[in-house]
Structure 1
Amino acid sequence: MENRDIIAIGASAGGLTALTRLFGAMPKGWAPTVFVVLHITPNATSVLPQLLERIGWLPAFHPVDGEPIRPSHIHVAPPDHHLLVHRDRVLVRRGPRENRTRPAVDPLFRSAGVAFGSRVVGVVLSGTLDDGTSGLRAIRRCGGIGVVQDPDDAEWPGMPQSAIDNGEADHVLPLAHMPALLYRLAAEPAPSGPPVPLDVATEARIAEQEFTAVSEDTNAVGKPTTLSCPECGGGLSEIHDGPVLRFRCHVGHAYSPDSMEAAQAEAMETALWVALRTHEERVELFQRLGDYARERGQDLIAANWDSQKQEARKNAELLRAVLSKPDVRNTSSQKKR
């Protein structure tokens, strides 16, 4: 019988410190197969495998698309690519961003649950917002186990707290106690898991498809809404995922509640700045038109332009007042720090 020897780990802000502490305390001689997603800048040159390998626990590397899974290695998601598993192979895909990021934790967790079922232990470490919550639920629905860093022990508690609040944590503990737990879980035989839920398999497939249209898959897992995708403008479907309401568009962009809120807050702020710039340009335009009319003795026309200038100036001042408020982008990332 196989053991729980597949460890899938997700982290964001504060994640490098957490991974360093976790891997540095792992029992010597224990060599599970590990997959890691850490939110990183898309255009950065990643040295994360070198940093993790320097710790001295297991070899770490950025896999290439389609290569066989390497047992007893740490598979690290490269920048701007989702890290997925499919049967006995690794997929490295530039599929649609999920939760406004690529790589994202949820796609890795879903694919691991589909591929390995009850052998998977999903681990959520330090980070903001709520990436990993839905993926951890998928792992547990496939028979795996959810382990979450104690938010009080995390540099950024948002991701761990979200997993806990939504009931997806089988174990909550500080990093100092996590290696012993993971070692104990890995020594246990993996029980026979339930059939892979159809919606989990469908969403795992969406992440694999990169530039292929996925509207049929999206319709299969969600209900259409009148909301639009903050990234591409397409229609969003809502997905009832246990206690969480998530969203996915027809090309595959996916949003947790916190990431959807953050995306809309950012779009709103952008729209306000565009409106402010437009009103300031209108003030200048009406000033020029009024001056031109006065030079030609057209006082009534000039007065009309002056009135419109004053109205545009009032609107610009109102927009400045709104943009100056500290809560204009009061996102969940700010509330959950």
Structure 2
Amino acid sequence: MRTAGRDVIVVAASAGGVEPLRTVLSGLPPDLPAALLVVLHVPPQSSSVLANILDRAGPLKAAPAENAEPVRPGRVYVARPDHHLLLHGGRTRLSRGPRQNGHRPAADPLFMSAALDAGPRAAAVVLSGTLDDGAKGCEVIDRYGGAVAVQDCAECAFPGMPRAAVSAVPDATILPVREIAAWIQQQSRTPVSTEDHVYNGDMEKEIALFLREVPALTDPDGDLIAFSCPECGGPIYEQEGAAAPRFICRVGHAWSRDSMIDAQSDSVERALWVAIQRLEERLRVLERMRRSAADRGQYLSSSYFQDEEQRTREAVETIRLLQSRIGRSGDTLLSG
């Protein structure tokens, strides 16, 4: 069986992605025979105005996605803050399921659900953003017969996401952002065959986690490894991927290689700040003890406390130096 074209277009962006999104939407016609589902990384407490911005960008109607809303051509469905956006049974689904790559909403759940629901009728677009959310989703879209396009890294404010998508799907189409709208129109009008059905039980099980009303623990496929989840502290399983491994815990928090390193950097930095606070508190205690001993003529004790002060001060300086060298997205101490 053949369809008139790819009628489900999933789009992901992060840092530096709002203006490219506007550019893409401005180039699409009002009679586009496809629906767009858009994820932009936003803080959970934000009152995102992205839907309003995109609604004014072009002729297509853009609005925050509602749960169980039928997906119709010529519409733009925008993920809400702190909710994953998925496609299931031809309808949008909103989920407060586990964060993916440290984000909710995240690109991977949307892309994977679109691949499962629409198969070769799905197409993915990845715009400017840091790290690699969406790369696994692009790999799945491609495996299910869909198409993938990314913004040219040379013009991206933050090229991490497009670069990771190309690494996962080497045959992905690389375009300047001004040409992506034309690519979407071409995909929406290029007939595709839907006869070959790809079944992936593991992927369906993972997406089912987001569709449950009540969260539940699972035993993910993959090898149990000696890592802990940066989000919940639970055990982590490693799953092999075409381009890079993926890590998932029993709760369902999933991490790409880069997002895992980034999140672990955050955890280590927080731990180092706690250590610095405790050592500085120890310094204040030792100083007080030294002065008290000196006032009482207990010079041996005063000398001991002074030596401890010096050792503690050196420890604080060492940890401060280490803390300053642990950075996000480019960590050299932890990723080596």
> Which interval holds the TM-score relative to the shorter structure?
over 0.9
Q: Which residue of 1 aligns with 2:173?
A: 171
Q: Which residue of 2 aligns with 1:145?
A: 147
Q: Which residue of 1 aligns with 2:269?
A: 269
Q: Which residue of 2 aligns with 1:47?
A: 49
Q: Which residue of 1 aligns with 2:215?
A: 212
Q: CA deviation at 1:169?
A: 4.3
Give yes or no for the alignment of 1:99 onto 2:104: no
Contact 1:129 1:333 in 2 (8 A): no
1:12 paired residue among 11, 14, 38: 14
Q: CA deviation at 1:56?
A: 2.9
Tell me the SS of whatever aligns to 2:94. Answer: strand
Contact 1:215 1:251 in 2 (8 A): yes
Q: Which residue of 1 aligns with 2:198?
A: 195
Give yes or no for the alignment of 1:254 onto 2:257: no
Q: Which residue of 2 aligns with 1:159?
A: 161
1:92-114 CA-to-partner distances (Å, cap 9, x unmatched) read 11111111111000000000000
Contact 1:85 1:108 in 2 (8 A): yes
Q: Which residue of 1 aligns with 2:286?
A: 286
Q: Which residue of 1 aligns with 2:326?
A: 328
Contact 1:258 1:333 in 2 (8 A): no
Contact 1:163 1:169 in 2 (8 A): no
Q: Which residue identity does 1:202 align to in structure 2? A: K
Tell me the SS of whatever aligns to 2:136. Answer: helix
Q: CA deviation at 1:321?
A: 2.6
Distance 1:331 1:147 in 2: 24
TM-score, with structure 2 as normaliser: 0.92
Q: CA deviation at 1:67?
A: 2.8
Tell me the SS of whatever aligns to 1:215. Answer: coil
Q: CA deviation at 1:293?
A: 2.6
Contact 2:31 2:74 in 1 (8 A): no
Distance 1:78 1:315 in 2: 45
Q: Which residue identity does 1:208 align to in structure 2? A: L
- Counterparts in 2 of 1:314 and 1:44: CA distance versus 1, 3 Å: same
Q: Which residue identity does 2:85 align to in structure 1? A: L
Q: CA deviation at 1:198?
A: 2.0
Distance 1:277 1:23 in 2: 49
Q: Which residue identity does 2:197 align to in structure 1? A: P
Q: Which moved more, 1:140-149 or 1:123-132?
A: 140-149
Q: Which residue of 2 aligns with 1:69?
A: 71
Distance 2:58 2:312 in 1: 64
Q: CA deviation at 1:28?
A: 4.4
TM-score, with structure 1 as normaliser: 0.92
Q: CA deviation at 1:38?
A: 0.7
Q: Which residue identity does 1:260 align to in structure 2? A: M
Distance 2:17 2:267 in 1: 27
Distance 1:39 1:134 in 2: 16
Q: Which residue of 1 aligns with 2:123?
A: 121
Distance 1:4 1:205 in 2: 24
1:233-271 CA-to-partner distances (Å, cap 9, x unmatched) read 111111111121111111111111111111111111222
Distance 1:321 1:49 in 2: 43
Contact 2:239 2:245 in 1 (8 A): yes
Contact 2:132 2:161 in 1 (8 A): yes
- Counterparts in 2 of 1:164 and 1:333: CA distance versus 1, 3 Å: farther
Tell me the SS of whatever aligns to 2:193. Answer: coil
Distance 2:240 2:62 in 1: 36
Contact 1:128 1:333 in 2 (8 A): no
Distance 2:42 2:150 in 1: 20
1:130-157 CA-to-partner distances (Å, cap 9, x unmatched) read 0110001111111211111111122221
- Counterparts in 2 of 1:311 and 1:333: CA distance versus 1, 3 Å: closer
Q: CA deviation at 1:333?
A: 8.9
Distance 2:144 2:175 in 1: 23
Contact 2:6 2:189 in 1 (8 A): yes
Q: CA deviation at 1:174?
A: 1.0
Structure 1, gaps ≥5 residues long = none
Q: Which residue identity does 1:328 align to in structure 2? A: I
Q: Which residue of 2 aligns with 1:108?
A: 110
Name the count of aligned residue pairs.
329
Tell me the SS of whatever aligns to 1:196. Answer: coil
Tell me the SS of whatever aligns to 1:264. Answer: helix
Give yes or no for the alignment of 1:232 onto 2:232: yes
Q: CA deviation at 1:166?
A: 2.7
1:206-240 CA-to-partner distances (Å, cap 9, x unmatched) read 23336512323x2xx32211100111111111111
1:135 paired residue among 137, 141, 156: 137
Q: CA deviation at 1:120?
A: 0.1
Contact 2:7 2:73 in 1 (8 A): no
